[in-house]
Amino acid sequence: MKYFIYTIIFLALVFIGISVSVLDFQNLTEGDSGNALVVILASLCVIALMAILLVSRSISKKHS
């Protein structure tokens, strides 16, 4: 399960990298740039959730 979580985090980082390359800094909220911003925000949420999951799993192992 730990490697699966790390794989999801890696894929989220890949999505962030791809989306940053699509951004048009002149018009951030229009067209493909708006979609890229949504993908970046969603990927950051996924990374935060997976980090919380890793921490909670390590805490539960210590209490068991």
pLDDT digits (tens, 9 = 90+) for 8-58: 999 999 999 999 999 998 988 888 999 999 999 999 999 999 999 999 999
Provide, for the chain, the percentages of residues in helix, strand and coil under a 3-state DSSP scheme, each rounded to the nearest 5: 85, 0, 15
Give per-residue pLDDT as tens, 26-39. Answer: 988 888 999 999 99
This prediction has a pTM of 0.89
Residue 11, pLDDT score: 98
Q: Give the whole-angstrom CA distance, residue 6 versus residue 63.
A: 23
Query: In the chain, where are the structural domains located?
Result: 2-58
